[in-house]
Amino acid sequence: MKKLTIGHLYPDLLNLYGDRGNIQCFRKRLTWRGMEAEVIPFLSGDPIDFEKLDIVLLGGGSDREQELVCQSLQGIKKDFQAYVEDNGVVLAVCGGYQLLGSYYKTETKTIQGLEILDIYTEWEPERMIRNIILNSPLFDRPVVGFENHGGRTYIGNHTPFGKVFFGLGNTGKSGYEGVVYKNVIATYLHGPLLPKNPHVCDYLLEKALRKKYGEEIRLEPLPDELEHKANSYIFDRYNDKKYVLKETIKRYT
């Protein structure tokens, strides 16, 4: 039976808005297809053998929690970098996204990041809180979610995860959200990102399965009736007729 091992990094500190729901989604969508998922939670300070992992989830946290986790991250920095460069799959959400960069400068401190992505984040007092909708060139369907962050993330020479159709995204000004790098998706979209966007979940699962079992792996589609309802519920609320999804995607790619 095919199996993926999912490392959940620091659920004790980085688990805002139920980011762990993303793990449940990975697990369910594998088991519905007759595959298995093993989930290993790593608490702050635990040693991590990245060679055993197929997917890593790094969730969001408050500035205080990010500061606490920073030291543990420095201890795993080299191995985490090597995992990403070797096409390891990562979903990093909000605080986790910021920590993949070089630093996150809060009101009072500079928190060192993992330097996996060429990005940095600077805090501003006005929080960016709202529903958010993206067009990602990776998908035909929009990506919907919720953002809540004080940090503004400036990205270097990277492909954004999506173009903001509604919401604020990386800086509130750039018009873009998140980063896609190798098999990493780093985004401000909080849990439940994957249950509302099963296409994003399957994209990451397929990457992980192909890396482990070969490029020919294709995931069987699932009915996803409820998931699509949840996805369109948000999209339809903010969609005005002038907007054409395909056009935006075309301009963007």
Catalytic: which of 8, 25, 70, 94?
94
Q: Pick the stretch among 31-39, 46-54, 73-81, 142-150 that binds ligand GLN (CB under 6 A).
A: 142-150
- Which tokens in the block code for residue 229? 């309802």
- Annotated ligand binding at 127? The verdict is yes
Nearer to ligand GLN, 134 or 205 (CB): 134
Q: Pick the stretch among 43-51, 107-115, 147-155, 234-242 that binds ligand GLN (CB under 6 A).
A: 147-155
Question: Looking at 95, 142, 145, 167, which residue binds ligand GLN (CB under 6 A)?
Answer: 95
Nearer to ligand GLN, 16 or 205 (CB): 16
**190 annotated active-site:** yes
Dihedral-angle region of residue 213 (phi above 0 means left; psi in -120 to 50 means alpha; beta otherwise): alpha
**158 annotated active-site:** no
Q: Pick the stretch among 23-31, 75-83, 146-154, 237-245 that binds ligand GLN (CB under 6 A).
A: 146-154
- For 72, residues 6+ apart whose C-beta sits below 8 A from its C-beta are 10, 44, 45
User: Taking the CA atoms of the chain, what radius of gyration do you get in angstroms?
Assistant: 17
Catalytic: which of 25, 190, 199, 201?
190
Cα dist from 16 to 28, 60, 69, 181, whole Å: 21, 5, 14, 23
Phi, psi of 241 (to 5 degrees): -65, -20
Residue number of the CB atom closest to ligand GLN: 60
- Examine residue 151 and tell whether it contacts ligand GLN (CB under 6 A): yes
Nearer to ligand GLN, 95 or 160 (CB): 95
SS3 4: strand
- Examine residue 94 and tell whether it contacts ligand GLN (CB under 6 A): yes
Nearest to 227 by CA among 204, 198, 249, 248: 198
Q: What is the dihedral of CA 172, 84, 156, 158, to 10 degrees?
A: -80
Element (H, E) at 252: helix 245-252
Nearer to ligand GLN, 64 or 229 (CB): 64
Tell me how crowded residue 119 is: count the other CB atoms within 10 A of its CB.
Answer: 24
Binders of ligand GLN among residues 58 to 87 (CB under 6 A) are: 60-63, 66
- Cβ 23 to ligand GLN shortest distance, Å: 16
Tell me how crowded residue 217 is: count the other CB atoms within 10 A of its CB.
Answer: 15
**Contact positions vs ligand GLN (CB under 6 A):** 16, 60-63, 66, 94-95, 98, 148-151
Residue positions annotated with a catalytic role: 94, 190
